[in-house]
Amino acid sequence: MLNRAYIGRTVTTTTPVTVTTEAVSAFAAALGDTVDGDIAPPTFLVSITMPAVETLKDDPDFGLDYTKVLHREQSFDFARPVRVGDTVVCEITIDDIKSVAGNDILSLRAEAVDPDGARVATVTTTLFVGGTA
């Protein structure tokens, strides 16, 4: 079971990531997509937010067994597109933890901002975390 005391806590902030042509092209190619000019695919921010989310597995007090995690849902709310050359920082916050039939539903919010603190996007992720057998 996840530690509900973490609800509302900002758990990690990424180091600034500069979006490169190579990173956007590789991400798009992995999706079977192409790059439209210097604009990254809408889901590109996952490549920045997921490594930050994965740091939760290293916190024994939180109780996350990443081998029992299934991706459930994700949404993106953009203030503007992510472009090659942008520098982005993401702050990950635990919005909610719900227990259902011995399993947990973990809701996370990543606020992506530029170096001046201007909002780029909000990425909301919901993960299903299986309970102990």
Q: Where are the domains of the chain?
A: 4-129
Q: What is the pLDDT of residues 56-78, one digit of tens each?
A: 888 899 999 989 999 999 999 99
Q: What is the pLDDT of residues 15-52, one digit of tens each?
A: 899 999 999 999 999 988 878 789 999 899 999 988 88
**CA 93 remoteness from chain centre:** 10
Query: Domain 4-129: which CATH class?
Result: alpha beta
Separation between Cα atoms, residue 94 and residue 26, nearest integer Å: 29
Count the Cβ atoms, other than its own, within 10 Å of residue 132: 8
> What predicted TM-score, i.e. pTM, was given to this entire model?
0.89
pLDDT band at 13 (very low <50, low <70, confident <90, very high): confident
